[in-house]
Amino acid sequence: MTSTTPYADLTPELILSAAETVGLAPTGGFQALASYENRVYKIETEDVPWAVKFYRPNRWTDTAIAEEHGFLQELVDAEIPAVAPLARDGETLFHAGSYRFAVFPWRPGRAGCVETPSERQTLGRHLGRLHLIGAGRFTARPTLDVASFVDPAITTLADCPFLPADLRPAFLATTARLRALVAAAFADVGAPHLRLHGDCHAGNVLTNDSGLTLVDFDDCLNGPAIQDLWMLLPGDQTEQEEALAALLQGYELFRDFDPAQLRLIEPLRTARLLHYNAWLARRWQDPAFPRAFPWFAEDRHFRELMGLLATQEQRLDAPPILRRAP
């Protein structure tokens, strides 16, 4: 295993033997799930299936992973629909060869299906309670700010070999303006930071006949409350305002929401756009990434990215979406 092939030694035999070391009895059946940063497998046993998550080497410290696991347990203890990892002798992080892994109860469901006002109200209630539990700060996990998410992304993309040379001056000029606008918005709003899900989009909300479950807390971090809401807002401005009204109707049953944070939606969207593209650039030597994202190496992608950045510059100067009455 090397930094460019981080999962080269993660064989089916190692995956199944890892499950056995924590007391599971695999039948031999397992399925790789869609995950690029980590590797996650559905492991079949004679009783119930489990999800076994192998963490990307050298990404998180053990302390940072422990904070993820501890947060999940707090949520489950408060009956918020999340999934806490299996514990053995008080430990939730295990080792198999050079890998660290955790085991989670399997939760079936459909992703991306929170669409009606009633469903959004229910999700808003859960997020309001999640943010009550999340009061305080992680100490070993990131904070969503310009220094951690915008500046490193700009540097990475400016040095990316796929960025066409003729675009580099415009890229640097555009991102410098965007950085200033994002930093000013964060400073003006001054929203307090909480422990958040961090990557709360519709794909990380599973629904089934029993309700919904929040999954994939791998990117949990410190940040403003709106970070766990804005990615759930679909479509055009009218649709976003309607969805926001439903979410907040449930959210504010448990926790007040400061409408000033709506000014952070476009700054956060800008930060995510840069951070996502920089993530692809940093991971490109992992063989899974060129297979999954071949378009990232194309000249056309970076020209389209420049268009998206120009759009974000316009949005950052525009009024934020409104909070409608439900």
Which amino acids are annotated catalytic?
199, 216
Single-letter residue type at 15:
I
Which tokens sit at 285?
């030597």
The strand pair at 39-45 and 221-223 is best described as unpaired
Q: Which residues contact 170 (CB under 8 A, 6 or more apart)?
A: 306
**In 74-184, where do the E strands start and end?**
94-96, 99-105, 110-111
Q: Structure tokens of 25?
A: 């009895």
Distance CA 128, CA 122 (A): 10
- CA-to-CA distance for 121 and 267, rounded, in angstroms? 25
Amino acid occupying residue 69: H
Looking from the CA of 306 toward its CB, the CA atoms found within 13 Å total 16
The answer to whether 283 and 293 have CB atoms below 8 angstroms apart is no
CA distances from 198 to 58, 74, 230, 272 (A): 20, 16, 11, 11
Whether the Cβ atoms of residue 83 and residue 34 lie closer than 8 Å to each other? no
The token pair at 36 is 């690029």
Number of Cα atoms under 13 Å in the Cβ half of residue 199: 12
Please give the Cα distance from 325 to 42 (Å, whole number): 42
Residue 44 host element (H or E): strand 39-45
CA angle 118, 322, 207 (to 5 degrees): 25
What does the block give as tokens for 270? 């800008």
Crossing angle of the two packed helices 299-317 and 168-189, in degrees rounded to 10: 30
